[in-house]
Structure 1
Amino acid sequence: MYSKSIFLFAILLFSINVSSQTTYPKITGYFGIMHPIVTFSKDETTVNFRDYYAVGFPTGINIWKSEKIGFSLEFVPNIKDDNGTDKVTNLLFHPGVLVALGKGYTFAGRAAFETSGRYGFTPVFNKTIIKNKSCSYYAAVPLPVRFGNDHPATFTVGFQFGIAF
């Protein structure tokens, strides 16, 4: 009896073709590298690579409800090197909604909750650059807006690239 169950489970497992998954919900994962380019506030404008070096590593799961709409759950650890001292400065919890715009473009509207005490939202415009059977490569422009923690509101323009699978 036990061996029949294993045999039936194996047949079921091998009959599922995950690489050509077209049924929904569809689950994908991704990993990227995000560089903030410039940050504006009422007090100052700071430029990455000139004033300091900061980098984030967005990692997440997308759950597509249909071909057009989905939900994304992202975590982003951030590292900053300022005057030769580097450290993890923040962990960002970044849930949001995904909207497929067609021709490889996607809009992500994300809420933002940072361990630094800041919060806000991040519109992200994403484009799939290369699509293979097992993965795809993308580029994105995140536009974070942040408030709180006794700092002025900020607006940042960033550049992100990564791999989705």
Structure 2
Amino acid sequence: MSLKPTLFITLLLSSIAGFSQTVYPKITGYFGILHPIVSISKEETTVNFRDYYAVGFPTGINIWKNEKIGFSFEVVPNIKDDQGTSKVTNLLFHPGVLVALGKGYTFAGRAAFESNGRYGITAVFNKTIMKNNNCSYFVAIPFPVRFGNDHPTTFTASFQFGIAF
């Protein structure tokens, strides 16, 4: 079996220059730590770190179709410590679409299905802050909106940081 001359030249130049071309679909995984900051509803406003402590651990897989668009599936166990009692309060299933905005920024539009009976959408703005050959580090600002389970609609602002590989 022989290589076509153009393929051989491309491979040779790539290896000489140390250049690697991304092949799509591209699959990446990630893990993060999520801190809700403030949640607002028509009945109340609650603040993490003051009224209670809540933390989530987003873990997911991204499948990039090309350099601009992809699909993501995320699972987020949430833990809450309220007045000295801590427990897993919720498990979030979070599928969505990824849109690369350029310069390390990505938008994720996610559907949200929570084990506590709530559902909704989440807009996430993500920025890669450091990248090397093995992994990258990112920060994200998620804005969840939740409905259902006989509770008023809530809007939350959150902060997330993590590692992708």
Decide: shared fold, TM above 0.5.
yes
The question of 1:61 aligning with 2:61 is answered yes
User: 1:74-107: per-residue Cα shift (whole Å, max 9, x none)?
Assistant: 0000000000000000000000000000000000
- When the two chains are superposed, the root-mean-square deviation of aligned CA atoms in Å is 1.0
* Amino acid of the structure 1 residue aligned with 2:134: S
Task: State the 1:67 CA deviation.
Answer: 0.1
Amino acid at match of 1:91: L
For 1:153 and 1:32, how far apart are their aligned partners in 2?
26
SS at match of 1:129: strand
* TM-superposition CA deviations, 1:120-156 (whole Å, max 9, x none): 0000000000000000000000000000000000000
What is the one-letter code of the residue matched to 1:87? K
Aligned amino acid, residue 76 of structure 1:
V
Structure 1 residue runs of 5 or longer lacking an equivalent are 1-19
Determine whether 1:104 maps to 2:72: no
CA distance in 1, matches of 2:110, 2:131: 24
Q: For residue 162 of structure 1, what is the aligned residue in structure 2? A: 162
Identity %: 84
TM-score by length of 1: 0.88
User: How many Å separate the matches in 2 of 1:156 and 1:21?
Assistant: 39
The residue number in structure 2 matching 1:145 is: 145
TM-score, length basis structure 2: 0.88
Aligned to 2:128, what secondary structure does the other structure show?
strand
Report runs of 4+ in structure 1 exceeding 6 Å deviation: none
How far apart are the structure 2 equivalents of 1:125 and 1:33?
15
Q: What is the aligned residue count?
A: 147
Displacement after TM superposition at 1:21 (Å): 5.7
User: Which residue number in structure 1 is paired with residue 12 of structure 2?
Assistant: none
The equivalent residue for 1:134 is: 134
Q: How far apart, in 2, do the equivalents of 1:62 and 1:42 lie?
A: 35
The reply on whether 1:50 has 2:50 as its aligned counterpart is: yes
Q: Which residue of 2 aligns with 1:12?
A: none
The equivalent residue for 1:40 is: 40
Rounded to whole Å, the distance in 2 between the matches of 1:37 and 1:85 is 20
Cα 1:95–1:117 change in 2 (3 A) is: same
Q: Distance between the aligned counterparts of 1:118 and 1:108, measured in 2?
A: 20
- Distance, in Å, in 2 between the alignment partners of 1:141 and 1:21 is 30
